[in-house]
């Protein structure tokens, strides 16, 4: 608004321009053209300095690096507990494998009791200070088959408990320890150092088989991958297993789960018998014809019939008279007592 007012005044007065637009007499001419309003028109920079500037080259495209390959999982052999023989066949298999053991005649709860002395396929099993194990032959055979898994991790000795313990489980039935088919692992020896399940097992790891996982986690993961144990419980299972691994194989006579029976089809409801038709009402009795009028009297006497004699009235039944009951305690009379003679009444005068 002020600029328009200034230009109007200058046009009327003939002045050269506004104060800020007045150029001194000896000032050099503008290098750039001036607009009609007296402003310098901007111009793009030019000259040798700007001409030498080249546009920056485009940034080179570098593809994202490929993800690191996943750590290869160990090739763990798989077994089935049904492949483990029992009875004499199991004893013969242990003998063929060279396991030092002695067969026992009888042990409560164990189908084929054996006592192992020494190592099982290179692994020493120790319970406290004892180096022998009392268990079922099938459990010893299972430990022989998984021994390479322990050896690959450097395990030389296993400290265990409860290979045979005749007790009930929490669900109210005999535990697999009572059959000599379960083992609780508390510590293992890797080389020259011992590692405890309670202290060195890392809880909650998503992948225990990873190479960077603790050795006890790798051991539990690899034992589970063999599919040989019916039960393999770690501290991740519950608080009761906070200090040991529970390993157990299935018994030979384990009952198989029966398939669910289809529901029985609903029986149709029996149809009710039809109700009998109501009986028709009895027909009314025909009305009696009126008695004929008596004949007119011809003068002859009318003979009335002799009345029939009524039968004598029936006599009431008389019951026999009941004899008077004698008193229970009749008075006793002394022996030789005679009743006094009755006095004769005097004759009437």
* DSSP code per residue over 263-293: PPPPPPPPPPPPPPPPPPPPPPPPPPPPPPP
| Contact yes or no for 235/243 (Cβ under 8 A) | yes
- Which residues neighbour 184 within 8 Å (Cβ) at sequence distance 6 or greater? 160, 161, 162, 244, 245, 246, 247
How long a stretch of residues is the chain?
349
| Contact yes or no for 78/125 (Cβ under 8 A) | no
Where do the H-state alpha helices sit in 25-79? 48-51
Helix (H, G, I), strand (E, B) or coil at 94: helix
pLDDT digits (tens, 9 = 90+) for 116-164: 999 999 999 999 888 889 999 999 999 999 999 999 999 999 999 988 9
Angle ∠(268,270,274) on CA atoms, nearest 5: 145
pLDDT given at position 264:
67
- Which residues neighbour 265 within 8 Å (Cβ) at sequence distance 6 or greater? none
- Which residues neighbour 118 within 8 Å (Cβ) at sequence distance 6 or greater? 99, 100, 124, 131
Q: Is 181 exposed, middle or buried (0-12, 13-18, 19+ CB in 10 A)?
A: buried
Q: What is the DSSP letter of 34?
A: B
| Contact yes or no for 121/97 (Cβ under 8 A) | yes
The one-digit pLDDT tens for each residue of the chain (349 residues) are 555 555 555 555 555 545 444 555 655 555 555 555 455 555 555 555 555 556 666 656 555 555 444 444 455 555 555 579 999 999 999 999 999 999 999 899 999 999 999 999 999 999 988 888 999 999 999 999 999 999 999 999 999 998 898 888 877 788 899 999 999 999 999 888 999 999 999 998 888 888 889 999 999 999 999 999 999 999 999 888 999 999 999 998 654 545 556 666 667 666 666 777 777 777 777 666 666 666 655 555 555 666 566 666 666 666 666 666 666 665 566 666 666 666 666 666 5
Candidates 112, 118, 204; CA nearest to 164 is 112
pLDDT given at position 20:
47
pLDDT given at position 192:
87
pLDDT given at position 153:
93
pLDDT digits (tens, 9 = 90+) for 212-261: 899 999 999 999 999 999 999 999 998 889 999 999 999 986 545 455 56
pLDDT given at position 295:
61
Helix (H, G, I), strand (E, B) or coil at 190: strand
Phi-psi region of 299 (alpha: psi -120 to 50; beta: other; left: phi over 0): left
* Tokens describing residue 260: 């669910």
pTM: 0.52
| Contact yes or no for 86/69 (Cβ under 8 A) | no
């Amino acid at each position: 608004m002020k600029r328009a007012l200034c230009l109007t005044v200058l046009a009327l007065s003939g002045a050269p321009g506004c104060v800020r637009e007045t150029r001194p007499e000896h000032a050099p001419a503008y290098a750039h053209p001036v607009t009609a309003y007296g402003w310098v028109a901007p111009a793009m920079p030019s000259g040798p300095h700007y001409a030498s500037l080249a546009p920056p080259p485009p940034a080179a495209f570098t593809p994202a690096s490929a993800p690191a390959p996943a750590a290869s999982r160990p090739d763990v052999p798989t077994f089935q507990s049904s492949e483990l023989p029992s009875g004499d066949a199991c004893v013969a298999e242990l003998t063929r494998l060279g396991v030092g053991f002695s067969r026992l005649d009888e042990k409560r709860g164990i189908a084929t009791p054996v006592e192992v002395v020494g190592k099982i396929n290179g692994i020493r099993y120790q319970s406290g200070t004892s180096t022998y194990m009392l268990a079922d032959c099938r459990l010893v055979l299972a430990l022989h088959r998984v021994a390479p898994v322990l050896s690959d991790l450097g395990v030389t000795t296993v400290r265990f408990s409860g290979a045979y313990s005749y007790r009930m489980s929490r669900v109210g039935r005999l535990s697999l320890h009572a059959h000599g088919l379960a083992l609780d692992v508390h510590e293992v020896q890797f080389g020259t150092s011992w590692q405890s399940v309670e202290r060195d097992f890392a809880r909650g790891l998503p992948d225990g088989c990873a190479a960077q996982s603790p050795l006890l986690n790798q051991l539990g993961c690899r034992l589970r991958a063999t599919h040989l144990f019916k039960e393999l419980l770690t501290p991740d299972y519950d608080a009761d297993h906070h200090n040991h691994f529970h390993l157990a194989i299935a018994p030979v006579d384990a009952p198989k789960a029966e398939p669910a029976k289809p529901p029985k089809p609903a029986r149709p409801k029996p149809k009710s018998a039809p109700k009998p038709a109501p009986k028709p009402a009895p027909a009314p009795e025909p009305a009696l014809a009126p008695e004929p009028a008596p004949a007119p009297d011809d003068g002859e006497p009318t003979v009335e019939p002799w009345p029939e004699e009524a039968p004598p009235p029936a006599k009431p039944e008389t019951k026999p008279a009941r004899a008077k009951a004698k008193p229970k305690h009749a008075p006793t009379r002394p022996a030789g007592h005679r009743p006094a003679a009755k006095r004769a009444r005097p004759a009437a005068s």
